Homo-oligomer: A and B are copies of this chain.
Amino acid sequence: MSEFEKVTTGLGEECGVFGAYDMDGGDVAPSVYYGLFALQHRGQESCGIAVTDTYGERKVHSKKGLGLVNEVFDEESLQELKGNLGVGHVRYSTAGASRAENAMPLVINYVKGILAIAHNGNLTNAIELRHELEYTGAIFQTTIDSEVIAYHIARERLNVEKAEDAVKNAMKKIQGAYALVVSSPRKMIGARDPFGLKPLCIGKRDNTYFLASESCAIAAVGGEFVRDVEPGEIVSFTKHGMKSDKTMAIDPKKQARCIFEYIYFARMDSVIDDVNVYHARIVAGKALAESYPVDADLVVGVPDSGLVAAKGYSEQSGIPYGMAFHKNSYVGRTFIKPKQSQRESSVKIKLNVIEEVVKGKRIVMVDDSIVRGTTCANIIKMLKKAGAKEVHVRISSPPFLHPCYFGTDVPSNEQLIAHSHTTEQIREMIGADSLGYMEVDKLKNMVGDLAYCDACFTGNYPMEVPGRDVSLAFE
């Protein structure tokens, strides 16, 4: 799947989270802004920042809105976000319509003051929990799982001394995928679900601690990467430094990191759970070269996500690596997509083939996935029109066959070409000279010894899941 396909098909990650806590009391909103900016690839629908001053009045100032980080915030609004503890969020929406009230972080008043919460992931028992809460008098103002989590933290907080213990008790009730960054009035708290489905890591710059979905955001703010939050771990930051609680951790063999973070979601310059994303993609490309060798002149990747795997294929196969496409990066939220009736096509507008590179060549084209197949078909057509003699497609993930309940927005079965066609049929439909998907049992090479989740390819879910799609239950 190239990102061009993503726009139309809606395969996407839910969110990115970022937190900053300056033990010296300095303002952190600019760092949160740049951190979110580095995580923008994880969500372009809405974003928000909530800050509090742990040394002052502990009020929360927040701003949220629809659009990219640089559309929602300007210098004035950043300056108004005073405080040394900040939580930020970028959101990718699964629902068709954008919903302003679902933007995060969620800011609530509860018994102990004000709490802001940013959340990446999806709870599998959200419906049950919402009903349970409603039957004890809860009201909901959004349709996001964060509100369910906030309720549980608020209720547990009545019984425990420390905010982080309230988070822990809440974790005992909620099931599914989550990476959380929470600001309680005086603390920054981070937590990751016991399966480790969603990534979260820790950084530091002088006396400021950071939490981020990906290490690239730590680098963007000039911080040093400290370590990943471990699956099931709760970390908390006060003026006395960092504390860790791993009592919710499970057997590492049962952990289930989302393999698609490595294949597609994460930025290639991030490192997640000690696995370098760039390296993982090189490995994927090499595996494809081993599984599906072909006599060709050039290996090319579909930007941006297919580029590294193409490099890996090239290294393994010895076939030269080339740049076949120019990508137009000025596509923003408000870009007007061509209508079917127009002569221009979405793909052509955003992607152009460099004829000079492909003319007369036999091409191996690497992409990360195929969803509906139409975009892939269009790109192959463009390559052939530019003079490519053959186009051999290699996909760095196995075919999608099962729904994801953890926050990845996989289209429904009817839209998934792999659901109802054989690989040979797909090859023919997209007009490729050959087609090879990553083999399921080679995924493990990408991440070494790490336990991971490949349920969307295999149906082997790491936990019990609802039998039906729940993403639109509250829309």
A176→B154 CA distance, assembly (Å): 28
A73→B334 CA distance, assembly (Å): 9
A30→B344 CA distance, assembly (Å): 9
Interface pair A137/B151, CB less than 8 Å apart: yes
Contact of A55 with B by CB under 8 A: no
Residues on the B chain within 8 Å of A353, using CB? 269
B37, B276, B349, B357: which contacts A34 (Cβ < 8 A)?
A: B349
Chain A 308-348, CB within 8 Å of chain B: the 1/0 string?
10010000000001110010111110111010001111001
Interface pair A109/B139, CB less than 8 Å apart: yes
A71→B139 CA distance, assembly (Å): 30
Chain A 155-169, CB within 8 Å of chain B: the 1/0 string?
100100000000000
**Contact status of A323 and B344, CB under 8 A, knowing A40-B330, A110-B139:** no
Interface pair A140/B110, CB less than 8 Å apart: yes
Residues on the B chain within 8 Å of A37, using CB? 328, 330, 335, 349
Residues on the B chain within 8 Å of A139, using CB? 108-110, 115, 147, 150-151, 154
Contact of A78 with B by CB under 8 A: yes
Contact of A356 with B by CB under 8 A: yes
Residues on the B chain within 8 Å of A255, using CB? none
Interface pair B109/A140, CB less than 8 Å apart: yes
Interface pair B70/A336, CB less than 8 Å apart: yes
A344→B221 CA distance, assembly (Å): 5
**Contact status of A134 and B106, CB under 8 A, knowing A70-B335, A220-B344, A269-B326:** no
A287→B172 CA distance, assembly (Å): 64
Interface residues on A, range: 35 or more
B69, B115, B307: which contacts A330 (Cβ < 8 A)?
A: B69
Interface pair B154/A34, CB less than 8 Å apart: no
Interface pair A30/B71, CB less than 8 Å apart: no
B154, B331, B355: which contacts A137 (Cβ < 8 A)?
A: B154
Give chain B nearest CB distance to A85 CB in angstroms: 17
A323→B281 CA distance, assembly (Å): 13
Residues on the B chain within 8 Å of A343, using CB? 31, 205-206, 221-222
Interface pair A70/B108, CB less than 8 Å apart: no
Residues on the B chain within 8 Å of A33, using CB? 336
Give chain B nearest CB distance to A331 CB in angstroms: 7
Interface pair B278/A331, CB less than 8 Å apart: no
Kindly identify, within residues 143 to 198 of chain A, every residue whose CB is under 8 Å from any CB belonging to chain B: 143, 147, 150-151, 154-155, 158
Give chain B nearest CB distance to A105 CB in angstroms: 11
A110→B151 CA distance, assembly (Å): 13
A460→B108 CA distance, assembly (Å): 37
Give chain B nearest CB distance to A267 CB in angstroms: 6
Interface pair B342/A109, CB less than 8 Å apart: no
Interface pair B40/A220, CB less than 8 Å apart: no
Give chain B nearest CB distance to A417 CB in angstroms: 25
A115→B140 CA distance, assembly (Å): 10
A206→B72 CA distance, assembly (Å): 42
Give chain B nearest CB distance to A193 CB in angstroms: 21
A475→B59 CA distance, assembly (Å): 8
Contact of A38 with B by CB under 8 A: yes
Interface pair B326/A329, CB less than 8 Å apart: no
Interface pair A222/B308, CB less than 8 Å apart: no
Residues on the B chain within 8 Å of A344, using CB? 30-31, 34, 220-222
Residues on the B chain within 8 Å of A348, using CB? 219-222
Interface pair B308/A323, CB less than 8 Å apart: yes
Contact of A371 with B by CB under 8 A: no
Residues on the B chain within 8 Å of A155, using CB? 137
Interface pair B107/A141, CB less than 8 Å apart: yes
Contact of A202 with B by CB under 8 A: no
Interface pair A267/B326, CB less than 8 Å apart: yes
Interface pair A269/B137, CB less than 8 Å apart: no
Q: Which 5 A-B pairs have the closest CB atoms?
A: A137-B155, A111-B134, A329-B329, A109-B140, A108-B139
Q: Can you spell out 22 A-B residue pairs with CB atoms less than 8 angstroms apart?
A: A31-B343, A31-B344, A34-B338, A41-B330, A73-B336, A74-B336, A107-B141, A108-B140, A108-B141, A109-B140, A109-B143, A109-B474, A110-B134, A110-B138, A115-B139, A138-B138, A139-B147, A139-B150, A216-B326, A219-B348, A267-B352, A308-B323
Given contacts A110-B138, A269-B352, 16 further A-B contacts (CB under 8 A): A30-B338, A37-B335, A38-B352, A40-B330, A73-B336, A109-B130, A109-B139, A109-B143, A110-B139, A115-B139, A135-B158, A137-B158, A138-B138, A220-B344, A222-B345, A278-B357
